[in-house]
Amino acid sequence: MNGSAMVGRNVRRIRHERRLSLGGLAQAAGLAKQTLANLENGTGNPTIETLFAVARALDVGVTWLLTEWGTPVYVQRRRGRMDPERHRRVRTLDQTYGSGQVTTFVMELVDGRPEVLPALPTGALLHVFVVAGSVVAGPVGQETTVAEGDFIRFPGDLPHLFRCTSGRAVLHVVTTVPQVQQFASG
């Protein structure tokens, strides 16, 4: 995951919400269509001027392009790489961009029926590391089985669930909720 891909996802999402074609947005921003296509594909390296031009053309603040919104489900299996640092090894599980409320907690589950939890505020994400056991987790209809050592990130602004599949499971959960409002509907 990188910031360029995230900016590209945001531009594409807002452009679609505004019902703009790629060419229409390029014209409104005063950019070449290929420049905008590269930006949306995450292969471009936009200047700050380009980001401001796109934001103006989309009628949003530039921070809307630089904040993680509605990302797809992301799973990192326990085979994730441990990077050596001075006196420890560190495994980065995920990075999100922007600011907002962050809540972190440990959750213990026992076998049982899945409980569907209500959607959190718009733009919320759940970041879950499985400390022990295995669970089915994710947005309803997009659940994924994850086991000890796995990491999953998924949209929390949809009804979602956790279900233990191993007798007992321990999860480290972080929820992030952006402080800026999600895109206006209409």
DSSP state of 67: S
State how far the Cα of 94 lies from the Cα of 151, in Å rounded to an integer.
Answer: 9
Task: Give the number of other Cβ atoms within 10 Å of residue 79's Cβ.
Answer: 7
Q: Is the model's pLDDT at 69 over the cut of 80?
A: no
pLDDT value of residue 186 = 45
Across 16-34, average pLDDT: 93
Whether pTM exceeds 0.75: no
- H/E element holding 40? helix 33-40
Q: Is the model's pLDDT at 1 over the cut of 70?
A: no
pLDDT value of residue 67 = 78
**pLDDT, tens digit (0-9, with 9 covering 90-100), for 28-51:** 999 999 999 999 988 878 899 999
Across 22-31, average pLDDT: 95
